[in-house]
């Protein structure tokens, strides 16, 4: 097709960010509506991309390629496979809900003396992150991907450091200091990973003479490009380190609880449901495709790290007193499952991992946004400050329960299918690893059900006795997410049909086949 659909899907939110930032300060409401309309327009373009994508067609579709920096072989090169198009759709789907949920998060507020909060800037930064994440999922030039992989850190830094959680803001310096610490920690961790990746990107160009993903993969397949074993392993480690920080994988995860705890609930969703997916996506697209032999070499160590993330994140979630930090540690555990599925190197594991990226984005958005609505009513993030909420706000409690059950992967809700596929795919090749990983499910049941019990059941605390139920705007945010969790829980086929061909091609790149069953099927 002649229309540059992939470019348009990324450029629209970028232009929307500029237009939103330019709205006069006195027109805060107009800035909100403009940002929402732009995000809906981006969702429409993503839907067209999804419809135009043929799962049984070429590996990369809707491709665009233009010279950018010809002296260095850098091209503006875009294309989506089944994995990329699914994550572009997820990103475009979640951003309107993030904007609606954060409708009042950047309004001016009284904290002893009036504080000015740049409303336009808040929504402009969200759109800027959306644009950069989308083009990261579309880029097939390694250097182009790197540029936006790093650039998205800047708007995220300002969203974390400049727009803190109101439940933690009392006009004092302590809250501002904690926000600044969380933002700086987020930036430094990811910058260090990015700098190491930059060295690996340069090294890849020196070895391959190209930044084009397709050219390098094809050259390796036909034997015209050969990397020394040690070189490939060092380059793999440079890429993987950056992606593991972004993911986040233990022990590079410590920035996430601080960032999610100090950010507003919508920005916390942006971090874990959207931005962090770039890390796990890049493991599939770049680590496995560019460095297949090194990926197989590193698999045992990565599986151990993924197992530690699963169990460690879940154990820390059990002991949390802060609602948002609990969700953050639960996400670390879930990302462990995703990485486990990727490096199990089976079609079931990788299909489950890709499906998990989508389902985790939806379920975490549902739980975190409802938690944000709850926190905004009480003004506290501490679990101990709640009790009996279901008696005074039953709709809020009901949606919170569904989000919690999705987090523990209850059968019938979307994350169950993906977690099941990851465990099956892992068990067929690494049975001991699969068995240990199942303990994460038991711990998930513990931390989610205890969270619900302590906040929603029991006697009604005096502080929540007058708590209002979900309002219309909040229902518009939560209801579609809950509906998607149920729909994809009973019928995941629309997504698996899209991602499975791409997963099979990735398995072919690493020259891995699924283990054969030890017991023959009955005839």
The string of pLDDT tens digits covering residues 228-239 is 889 999 999 999
Are 338 and 303 in contact by the 8 Å Cβ rule? The answer is no
* Owner of token pair 């490009």: 225
Burial class (CB in 10 A: 0-12, 13-18, 19+), 225: middle
In a domain, 69, yes or no: no
Burial class (CB in 10 A: 0-12, 13-18, 19+), 468: exposed
In the Cβ-directed half-sphere of 258, how many Cα atoms lie within 13 Å?
Answer: 21
Residue 88: predicted pLDDT: 95
The beta strand positions in 302-449, using DSSP E, are none
Separation between Cα atoms, residue 433 and residue 225, nearest integer Å: 34
Domain that holds residue 371: 310-486
Token representation of residue 175: 């809250």
Q: Comparing C-alpha atoms, which of 483, 378, 473, 482 is closest to residue 101?
A: 473
- pLDDT confidence tier of residue 117, bands split at 50, 70 and 90: low
Residue 91: predicted pLDDT: 95
Residue 111: predicted pLDDT: 47
Contacts of 277 (CB under 8 A, 6+ apart): 87, 90, 91, 133, 357, 361
What is the mean pLDDT of the segment spanning 81-85?
92
Residue 114: predicted pLDDT: 43
In a domain, 65, yes or no: no
Token representation of residue 101: 């949920």
In a domain, 353, yes or no: yes
Contacts of 240 (CB under 8 A, 6+ apart): 283, 287, 298, 302
% of the chain residues with pLDDT over 70: 94
| Helix, coil or strand: residue 277 | helix
Residue 337: predicted pLDDT: 94
Residues in a beta bridge with 75: 67
28-52 vs 82-101: helix crossing angle, rounded to 10: 160
More confidently predicted of 379 and 444: 444
Rounded alpha-carbon distances, angstroms, from residue 367 to 106, 157, 354: 21, 23, 20
Q: Which of 96-105, 223-232, 458-467 has the highest mean pLDDT?
A: 96-105
Residue 357: predicted pLDDT: 94
Contacts of 101 (CB under 8 A, 6+ apart): 265, 266, 269, 369, 372, 373, 474, 477
Separation between Cα atoms, residue 96 and residue 78, nearest integer Å: 24
Contacts of 320 (CB under 8 A, 6+ apart): 326, 329, 383, 447
What is the mean pLDDT of the segment spanning 181-204?
91
In a domain, 185, yes or no: no
Helical residues (DSSP H) of 102-222, grouped into ranges: 119-138, 142-151, 153-162, 173-208, 213-222
Token representation of residue 224: 């015209």
Are 68 and 50 in contact by the 8 Å Cβ rule? The answer is no
Token representation of residue 87: 């994550």
Q: Which of 161-170, 349-358, 479-488 has the lowest mean pLDDT?
A: 161-170
Q: Comparing C-alpha atoms, which of 436, 152, 198 is closest to residue 310?
A: 436
Residue 100: predicted pLDDT: 93
In a domain, 295, yes or no: no
What is the mean pLDDT of the segment spanning 116-126?
82
In a domain, 316, yes or no: yes
CB atoms under 10 Å from CB of 205, counted, come to: 17
What is the mean pLDDT of the segment spanning 160-164?
80
What is the mean pLDDT of the segment spanning 182-199?
91
Residue 263: predicted pLDDT: 86
**Average pLDDT over the chain, rounded to whole?**
88
Residue 368: predicted pLDDT: 92
In a domain, 105, yes or no: no
In a domain, 424, yes or no: yes
Residue 112: predicted pLDDT: 42
- pLDDT confidence tier of residue 298, bands split at 50, 70 and 90: very high
In the Cβ-directed half-sphere of 59, how many Cα atoms lie within 13 Å?
Answer: 14
Residue 18: predicted pLDDT: 94
Phi, psi angle pair for 411, to nearest 5°: -55, 135
Q: Domain count of the chain?
A: 1
What is the mean pLDDT of the segment spanning 189-212?
91
* Owner of token pair 């015209």: 224
The predicted-structure confidence for 428-449, as pLDDT tens digits, reads as follows 989 999 999 998 888 988 999 9
Q: Which of 59-63, 87-91, 496-500, 516-520 has the lowest mean pLDDT?
A: 516-520
Token representation of residue 498: 């899209």
More confidently predicted of 170 and 309: 309
More confidently predicted of 109 and 111: 109
| Helix, coil or strand: residue 374 | helix
| Residue 310 pLDDT greater than 50, yes or no | yes
């Amino acid at each position: 097709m002649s229309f540059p659909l992939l470019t348009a899907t990324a450029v629209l939110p970028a232009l929307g960010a500029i237009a939103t930032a330019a709205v006069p300060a006195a027109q805060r409401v107009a800035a909100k509506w403009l940002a929402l309309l732009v995000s809906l327009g981006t969702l429409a373009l993503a839907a067209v991309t999804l419809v135009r994508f043929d799962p049984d067609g070429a590996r990369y579709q809707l491709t665009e390629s233009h010279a950018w920096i010809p002296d260095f072989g850098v091209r503006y090169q875009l294309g989506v496979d089944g994995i990329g198009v699914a994550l572009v759709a997820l990103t475009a789907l979640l951003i309107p809900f993030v904007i609606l949920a954060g409708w009042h998060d950047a309004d001016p507020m009284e904290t002893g003396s009036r504080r000015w909060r740049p409303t336009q800037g808040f929504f402009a930064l969200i759109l800027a992150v959306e644009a950069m994440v989308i083009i990261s999922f579309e880029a097939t030039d390694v250097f182009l991907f790197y540029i936006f992989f790093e650039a998205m850190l800047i708007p995220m830094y300002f969203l974390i450091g400049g727009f803190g959680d109101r439940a933690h803001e009392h006009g004092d310096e302590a809250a501002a200091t904690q926000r600044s610490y969380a933002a700086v920690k987020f930036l430094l961790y990811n910058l260090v990973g990015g700098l190491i990746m930059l060295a690996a990107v340069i090294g890849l160009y020196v070895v391959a003479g190209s930044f084009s993903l397709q050219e390098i993969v094809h050259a390796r397949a036909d034997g015209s490009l050969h990397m020394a074993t040690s070189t490939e392993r060092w380059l793999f480690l440079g890429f993987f380190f950056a992606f593991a920080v972004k993911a986040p994988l233990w022990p590079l995860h410590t920035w996430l609880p601080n960032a999610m705890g100090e950010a507003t609930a919508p920005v916390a969703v942006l971090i874990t449901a959207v931005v962090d997916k770039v890390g796990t996506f890049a493991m599939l697209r770049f680590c496995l495709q560019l460095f297949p032999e090194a990926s197989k070499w590193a698999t045992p160590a990565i599986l151990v790290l993924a197992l530690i993330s699963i169990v460690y994140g879940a154990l820390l979630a059990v002991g949390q007193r802060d609602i948002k930090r609990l969700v953050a540690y639960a996400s670390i555990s879930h990302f462990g499952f995703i990485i486990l599925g990727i490096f199990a190197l089976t079609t079931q594991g990788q299909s489950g991992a890709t499906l998990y990226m989508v389902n985790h984005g939806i379920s975490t958005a549902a739980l975190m946004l409802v938690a944000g609505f709850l926190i905004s009513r009480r003004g506290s993030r501490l679990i101990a400050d709640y009790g009996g909420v279901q008696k005074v706000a039953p709709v809020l409690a009901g949606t919170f329960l569904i989000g919690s059950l999705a987090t523990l992967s209850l059968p019938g809700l979307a994350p169950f299918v993906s977690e099941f596929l990851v465990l099956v795919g892992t068990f067929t090749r690494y049975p001991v690893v699969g068995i240990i990983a199942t303990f994460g499910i038991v711990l998930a049941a513990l931390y989610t059900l205890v969270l619900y019990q302590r906040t929603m059941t029991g006697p009604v605390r005096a502080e929540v006795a007058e708590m209002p139920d979900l309002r219309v705007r909040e229902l518009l945010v939560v209801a579609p997410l809950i509906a998607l969790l149920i729909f994809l829980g009973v019928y995941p086929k629309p997504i698996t049909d899209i991602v499975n061909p791409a997963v099979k091609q990735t398995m072919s790149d690493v020259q891995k086949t699924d283990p054969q069953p030890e017991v023959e099927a009955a005839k």
